[in-house]
Structure formats: C-alpha cells, structure tokens
Structure 1
Amino acid sequence: MPLPLEATFRDALAEANRPLAGMWVCSGSPLIAELCAGSGLDWLLVDAEHSPNGLESVLAQLQAIHGYPIHTMVRPPVNDTVLIKQYLDLGVQNLLIPMVHSVAEAEAAVAATRYPPHGVRGVGSALARAARWNRVPDYLARAAQTISVTVQIESAAAVAAVEDILRVDGVDAIFLGPSDLAASMGVLGQQEHPEVRAAVEHCLAAAKAATKPAGVNAFNPDTAKHYLDQGADFILVGADVALLARGSESLAEQYVNKNDDGAPASY
C-alpha cells in the first residue's frame, strides 16, 4: 500500500506565522519522548550527541512520537556520512548536524543526505523504514524533498563563516548553540556573556539577510524572549532531563527536612 511521509521541519518553518518552540529529549526513553510529544509544543529535538541514544533507541523514540501533532528533529553525535545514512534509513527526516565550523563541513553534511549524483548517501531504501520498505512512491527520486538539514553554529570559526555556510545549497536552517560558542570564545559556561550574545545576534541577522531560518538554544526565559525579539525563527526552551532534575529538587526542598549540616534528616 502506498504510504506518505510527514512534512519536514523546513516545511513547518515556511508555513509558520510565528516562531516555533521546542524542547530537548535527552533521556533516551521512548515513554518520555511520547509524553513530551503530547505537550502542545511545536517540535522535539532527540539528542544523540550528549545523551545515551543509539540507533535502536532513536528508532524507538521516532515510533513513540509518530502520530502526535509535533515535528521531530534528531541530532547525531557527529557529522559523519555513515552515521547520517543510518539515521536517514531509520526514518529520521529532520537532522541537526552538530559542530559545523566551515563551508566544507556544511557541504559534507548535505552530501550525506543526498543520493548520487547529488551526494554520497548509500542506497538501501528497500530495507529501510525511511521509504517504509518501498511503500513510499518514488522515494529514491524524492528523498531529498523528505529531509531537512539544519547545521549547528557553535564556534567562533562558524560565526566567522556563517554567511558562507548559509549560502550552501541544501542547508535549510542554522541553529545557534551558545554553550559551545561560549567555550570556543574563551568564556566557558558564560552563555550570557555580551560577546556570546553579540555573536548569536550576528548570526540571526545573517540568516535573515540570507532568507533562511535560524534557531537558538535558550533555557533562560528572558534570553529566549530577547532572541525571539532579534528574529529567531525557532527555539529550544527546555529539556526533559532538566525539567525532571529541577522538579525533583523542588520536591526535596519542600518536603525533606534538613539538619544544620545540610544532611537529610531521613533516608
């Protein structure tokens, strides 16, 4: 039976009349992914760069999220041709490629998502969920239309090259990572540093000039609002693991009595 695929994140951004708000899914749990999928947010980012996610757990989360009215983006741990091929064959349609510092790295990311002669993606659609095991009509010819590529700008080198990166054919959007950007600028842990914020704002302006969407990671509500006011088209405002950590700490603060030395009064 012929089957359709979902619209891409690129399509969602083009059709949106407001910035799209999302959250990280870092637990590796399909149950938590499904819980977040019903949140009412616009998109989820399933992370495999800094989270305990392999191919099997990414697949399980894609299946758990499928059917909910939310877009799913997946971040692989590295900009690697073989790994990107595997993610695409799993059925990942929206990729966030980390640590893209140059035009060459952006071009390599795009090439990994395209079949020859336009790229280097290996052909295995008959075996793969990507084409629903050859149930998606003309998948090989249309595959590029079913995939969006967002590259992550998170170093001083990437900021310097952002205008050229934005011109790479097949780069659909950029996403700013202030944490790694701060580290590369010599202010580790200071995402709110004025120079970091200025670099993010520069990239947002460059994206607007190039008429390509730009997103940013900003858990601080005031910072999120600032970047939205500066023209961010999509944003990440929280993470499953962070929400659980802060929420459980709040419960402990409210209900666990402390001794003078700060130790819990009970086990």
Structure 2
Amino acid sequence: MRFDVITLFPELFAPFLASGVTRRAYAQGLVDVRLWNPRDYAEGNYRRVDDRPFGGGPGMVMMAPPLERCLAAIRADRAESPDTQAPLVLFSPIGTPIQHGVVAHWAASAGAVLLCGRYEGIDQRFIDAHVDVQLSLGDFVLSGGEIAALALLDAVARLQPGVLNDEGSHQLDSFNPALDGLLDCPHYTRPEEWNGRTVPPELLSGHHAHIERWRRDQRLATTAKHRPDLIAAARAAGHLAPLDEAALARLA
C-alpha cells in the first residue's frame, strides 16, 4: 500500500519512519510512505502557502492553488486515472474519530493521500473540490495534522503481516474484534515480586484454561470500569457468554 503525505513539515516524519518495530513496514515496502511539501508548489520568491482569511479574524488559511498543484503532482506520480484515484484524507476536528474499525479499513486498503492542515485551516473550496474523507484523532485541536497522520500510519503499519515479532500480538490489542472489542487485560513480567507487589497467582499456575479465564475476567473488569460503553456494545452484539455476565455481576 502507498500513502502520500502532504505536509509543510516533512522532517517530522523521518525519525518516525526509521524507529520502532513499525519501521519494518516502511523499510520492507509493506507501507510505502512518500512526503510532499506544498511549499514546493507555491509561486513567488517566498513560496507562500497561506494568506489572511476573507472576512477578517485571527490566523492564516492555507491557500488552495499550491495544494491543488501538489495534489496534481501526486496523482501524476501515482499514474492514476480519474476512476482509480486514491482517496484524499484530511485530518480535521469534524472528521470521523479514528477507532479500530477505521484503522482496520485503511490497513486493508491500497492506501491514500493524507493531507495535514496547518494554521487556522484550509480554504474550504479546496476541501469541497478534492477531499474524500475527513478523520479526527479526538475532540481537541492540534497545531497541524501531522500527529494524526503519524498515529494513523503507525496503527496501519502494525497490522501488516510480518511487522510485529508475534503475528498474534495485534489480535490481543484493546478494541480488537478478536477480544469482542474489550480493553486488554493487565500484563506482568519478572521479577515475580516487586516492591511488595506480586504477580497474580493465576498467571503462575501453568493452567492455560485458568489463565485465559483470568485474563477474560480482567478484560471485562477493566472495560466495565473505564469504558462501560464497550461492555454495552459487546452485550448488544451477543458477545458476552454466561461466564462473562457472571464475572460482571461479581463486580457490581
């Protein structure tokens, strides 16, 4: 898959693409990331990409012409026909929240063009003419879309086969359908005792069925405490067995 990123700060991506376990996805070409600076497609001596908003107000607005020329260069580089164009994704407060289902969708896709806005925003005419999808990292405002783009790329990369050391790791992640959308359980490692705190005896029992039941109960308890909405969703979907309901009843 290929992701083209339109950003005024391509240098923010370099260390990310070369670090951590997900670097395998980029190094091996499983996720091809290419960076494009709209300033390279701006006109004039100052390569201006922003201007004051009509109607007044604080801040600056990213201009449509440099963005359109940048997008055209990407389309040409991808050798796309009008009916096979990769979707243009804008990171915006009004976008669909990035949740596991969104990540899974893009992880199984052929990629997209990611647009990272800056300043007060982007000329609405460019958005109306070219943007296909808007995504949001959460109900807060960032200085630009780069952090959201990095978050999406990281989440997509770790779902690619061969990226994680253990192929089953992401199946046990919070929100994964393999866990019925529940949060993950607590984890422990050596030493068995630390500062007077011990590892739960179930994890030391060697009894795999007991361990899995303990982990399931812990997932239920953690989710009920921190995200009861996910419990309601799992129940509505018929994912909670009688043993699950009994574990939740003991928490009440």
TM-score by length of 2: 0.28
TM-score by length of 1: 0.27
**Rg larger for:** 2
